[in-house]
Chains A and B, each alone.
With several copies, the nearest count.
Chain A
């Protein structure tokens, strides 16, 4: 057991830090709203910049054009990235963190040769098409169907909660290619070009604000996709989709964790400056605020420790369902923290802020225990796969 970065790792950190300091875009990332092409341009430009400097695909093997960084280097990269205030991968996220790695794991050489460079070079935006209106937590119950017609699939149905659908070039699309049979079989993983005729989008407003269109619902009406776009075996899409689960090996939360750690520090500083309810003493002299701030500070330190542990475990063996543990704890801790932020803010909390404020991140935190698998789903996973408790009575 040890936590001490090697000389090489420290050198890597210095390199990352100076490069980021010099290159992180100065301007704010455009607002993510309905069909905002600016955001695509912003994200792709930032991706190109990283590519040109050799940072693109930090976790991708170098034979696929990635940086091929070690897990610890990835940890360092994500830490420095967040601390430098670098913009989120945004519309490049699905390509870099899910579609790309899936293609690496299961794609044909042709699929890889075509798509991987485009993702890395910031030339193509990907989105995800997994969830459906009728299949949320029960993802495998999906019913979007694809019938084979010659050398094409003909897709009909609908996907939902698709981020960046309106600016994406491709979608990783799960659809049912064989009816009947068991729920998890008969699904295929398909590369769906978003400009194919028959695709329609409906932007979905979030609760965060009146212009916050984070997701789309995507409708498929006789959408013809070449059979060559199927990744992996046909009908084995469930396996393909799960091939990259845990691909991030515990590094996935680092940005959020650091952002929240910084938020705790900001709130503590704020509580030292602002007057409390009596208008005289500082807010931090109120034991209730003090107690919540102290616990949040400890919790965020705990999440960091847990992240290091996960990364160090993943370096030795395949990551298991332990990622669910981090998510479970972290999502609730960050919800508590962000609620604390608006409570400290008092009256001003009623004013919708920018993302750098406190109210908007607070509203956004409602998604923390829902997106990427609800806390209920995480608890099932932890209880059944880590603790070995029996599956619940399900029909």
Chain B
């Protein structure tokens, strides 16, 4: 069975998340105010929790909704589209870490959305531990951070942070700090071999794909209504061809991401390979589409009044979560490609 189309049930999940986000986290929240306000997305997380977003992929026995990674990926893509604070992604992953590491109580708490987990972006991905320097994203007053290294993924509690220093963020809608994690092996961790990093990677890919798609949608919408020289600018090949290329790129990103997730679900031997390829393609799509979307908007795209710039900045943040493109390229060459045999899955 080769089916990469959403089932009606999956479509319903996506629709309900999208509808909630449209309601509570519309792009209008980014319109600059006279006095800048910090990111308020986390205040809506309990509503996302109620909808099941954070426990979507956990089994019902463990208190989750009981879907697979695929549904989580579908939802993460919507989070990307709406530029939801990436703490949402870290929280989705954190739930699995807590559960797998033997703290179901914490898993339950994280699922409710009241305890957002801050993504911790490693300066260098350590091979076999979690200690080192990280950037903490939107983690002001967070209790937990999600650390990710080649050793696996881990939840690092506030008590184990040190040298926390807030720094000016490239994305002013996301608080940023430098922090040091001292524990080599936090208690709440899942080692890389267990494959949870792939789920984390694919949620990041889905978010980046969502960013790439939203940037495309933004361009297309604008190109249909914005007129210059007495016609919609979408009629000019310069614009329309760029939009076509954007779609090609985001389609490849999405198909790679979902293909990798489906490969993971059936425990395909090439699951690592696909997850790394997906990250490279999703990251590339997000960066390029975001930049082209600014170009398509002209001066308006360069302002802070429209949210186009946030697509670029989120691409930078998420690219680094789990290792940036330079790092992924190294891993891509080290990965085992699908063998001829594995074609027969």
Task: With A204-B305, A383-B241 as known contacts, state yes or no: A390 contacts B231, CB within 8 Å.
Answer: yes
Cross-chain contact B238 with A379 (CB below 8 angstroms): yes
Cross-chain contact B176 with A351 (CB below 8 angstroms): yes
Cross-chain contact A391 with B235 (CB below 8 angstroms): yes
Q: Which of A86-94, A112-120, A230-238, A301-309 contacts B (4 or more CB under 8 A)?
A: A301-309
Report A3-53 residues with CB < 8 Å from chain B CB. Answer: 3-6, 10, 13-14
Residues on A with beta carbons closer than 8 Å to the beta carbon of B259: 3, 304-305, 308-309
Residue in B122, B123, B298 whose beta carbon sits within 8 Å of that of A374 in the complex: B298
Q: Give B338 Cβ to nearest chain A Cβ, in Å.
A: 8
Q: Is A131 located at the chain interface by the 8 A CB criterion?
A: yes
Q: Which of A60-68, A144-152, A164-172, A341-349 contacts B (4 or more CB under 8 A)?
A: A341-349
Most buried by B among A6, A279, A313, A351: A351
Q: Is A253 located at the chain interface by the 8 A CB criterion?
A: no
Cross-chain contact A1 with B277 (CB below 8 angstroms): no
Residues of chain A at interface, number, CB under 8 A: 99
Cross-chain contact A205 with B305 (CB below 8 angstroms): yes
Most buried by A among B1, B5, B32, B238: B1
A346 to B124, CA, bound (A): 9
Q: Which of A96-104, A190-198, A219-227, A292-300 contacts B (4 or more CB under 8 A)?
A: A292-300
A256 to B135, CA, bound (A): 32
Q: Is A154 located at the chain interface by the 8 A CB criterion?
A: no
Residues on B with beta carbons closer than 8 Å to the beta carbon of A284: 333
Residues on A with beta carbons closer than 8 Å to the beta carbon of B309: 207, 363, 366
A sample of 19 inter-chain contacts (CB < 8 A) reads: A2-B2, A5-B344, A13-B344, A75-B2, A136-B228, A205-B32, A207-B303, A207-B312, A268-B333, A288-B329, A290-B329, A308-B2, A308-B255, A309-B258, A309-B259, A328-B244, A346-B324, A382-B244, A389-B235
- The contact string, 1 if C-beta is below 8 Å from chain A, for chain B 229-254, is 11110111111110111011101110
- The contact string, 1 if C-beta is below 8 Å from chain A, for chain B 208-243, is 000000000000100110011111101111111101
Cross-chain contact A4 with B238 (CB below 8 angstroms): no
- The contact string, 1 if C-beta is below 8 Å from chain A, for chain B 187-219, is 000000000000000000000000000000000
Residue in B239, B253, B277 whose beta carbon sits within 8 Å of that of A297 in the complex: B277
Cross-chain contact A1 with B6 (CB below 8 angstroms): yes
Q: Is A248 located at the chain interface by the 8 A CB criterion?
A: no
A376 to B230, CA, bound (A): 17
Q: Is A325 located at the chain interface by the 8 A CB criterion?
A: yes
Residues on B with beta carbons closer than 8 Å to the beta carbon of A342: 316
Q: Give A182 Cβ to nearest chain B Cβ, in Å.
A: 13
Cross-chain contact B167 with A351 (CB below 8 angstroms): yes
Residue in B122, B262, B273, B327 whose beta carbon sits within 8 Å of that of A2 in the complex: B262
Cross-chain contact A350 with B1 (CB below 8 angstroms): no
Q: Give A296 Cβ to nearest chain B Cβ, in Å.
A: 10
Q: Give B106 Cβ to nearest chain A Cβ, in Å.
A: 28
Q: Is A54 located at the chain interface by the 8 A CB criterion?
A: no
Nearest chain-B residue to A362 (Cβ)?
A: B170
Q: Is B281 located at the chain interface by the 8 A CB criterion?
A: yes
A366 to B170, CA, bound (A): 14
A235 to B169, CA, bound (A): 49
Nearest chain-B residue to A357 (Cβ)?
A: B168
Most buried by B among A4, A206, A215: A4
Residues on B with beta carbons closer than 8 Å to the beta carbon of A356: none
Nearest chain-A residue to B287 (Cβ)?
A: A339
Q: Is B256 located at the chain interface by the 8 A CB criterion?
A: yes
A40 to B7, CA, bound (A): 47
Task: With A294-B280, A294-B333, A387-B220 as known contacts, state yes or no: A392 contacts B235, CB within 8 Å.
Answer: yes
A383 to B231, CA, bound (A): 16
Cross-chain contact B235 with A390 (CB below 8 angstroms): yes
Most buried by A among B241, B258, B302, B337: B302
Cross-chain contact A374 with B295 (CB below 8 angstroms): yes
Cross-chain contact A352 with B168 (CB below 8 angstroms): yes
Task: With A2-B262, A205-B305, A395-B231 as known contacts, state yes or no: A328 contacts B176, CB within 8 Å.
Answer: no
Q: Is A265 located at the chain interface by the 8 A CB criterion?
A: yes
Q: Is B172 located at the chain interface by the 8 A CB criterion?
A: yes
Residues on A with beta carbons closer than 8 Å to the beta carbon of B237: 376, 379-380, 392
Residues on A with beta carbons closer than 8 Å to the beta carbon of B328: 294
Cross-chain contact B236 with A392 (CB below 8 angstroms): yes
Q: Is B51 located at the chain interface by the 8 A CB criterion?
A: no
Nearest chain-A residue to B298 (Cβ)?
A: A136
Q: Which 8 A-B pairs have the closest CB atoms?
A: A207-B309, A205-B304, A305-B259, A294-B329, A389-B234, A383-B240, A379-B244, A352-B168
- The contact string, 1 if C-beta is below 8 Å from chain A, for chain B 1-31, is 1111111001000000000000000000000
Task: With A305-B256, A305-B258 as known contacts, state yes or no: A382 contacts B1, CB within 8 Å.
Answer: no
Q: Is A240 located at the chain interface by the 8 A CB criterion?
A: no
Q: Give A75 Cβ to nearest chain B Cβ, in Å.
A: 7
Report B100-139 residues with CB < 8 Å from chain A CB. Answer: 121-124, 133, 135
- The contact string, 1 if C-beta is below 8 Å from chain B, for chain A 350-390, is 11110000010001001101110011101110111011111
Q: Is B269 located at the chain interface by the 8 A CB criterion?
A: no
A136 to B121, CA, bound (A): 40
Residues on A with beta carbons closer than 8 Å to the beta carbon of B223: 389
Residue in A75, A290, A303, A370 whose beta carbon sits within 8 Å of that of B299 in the complex: A370
Task: With A137-B228, A277-B330 as known contacts, state yes or no: A3 contacts B277, CB within 8 Å.
Answer: no
A5 to B83, CA, bound (A): 36
Report A162-217 residues with CB < 8 Å from chain B CB. Answer: 204-210, 212, 215
Q: Is A312 located at the chain interface by the 8 A CB criterion?
A: yes
Cross-chain contact B280 with A265 (CB below 8 angstroms): no
Task: With A268-B333, A284-B333, A328-B245 as known contacts, state yes or no: A138 contacts B229, CB within 8 Å.
Answer: yes
Residues on B with beta carbons closer than 8 Å to the beta carbon of A298: 256, 276-278, 280-281, 332
Residue in A160, A286, A316, A383 whose beta carbon sits within 8 Å of that of B5 in the complex: A316
Q: Is A311 located at the chain interface by the 8 A CB criterion?
A: yes
Nearest chain-A residue to B335 (Cβ)?
A: A297
Q: Give B73 Cβ to nearest chain A Cβ, in Å.
A: 9
Q: Is B156 located at the chain interface by the 8 A CB criterion?
A: no
Cross-chain contact A389 with B240 (CB below 8 angstroms): yes
Apart from A1-B7, A291-B329, A295-B284, list 19 A-B contacts with CB within 8 A: A72-B2, A136-B298, A137-B298, A138-B228, A208-B304, A277-B327, A298-B280, A301-B256, A308-B255, A309-B259, A312-B2, A312-B5, A346-B324, A350-B171, A366-B312, A367-B299, A379-B238, A383-B234, A390-B234
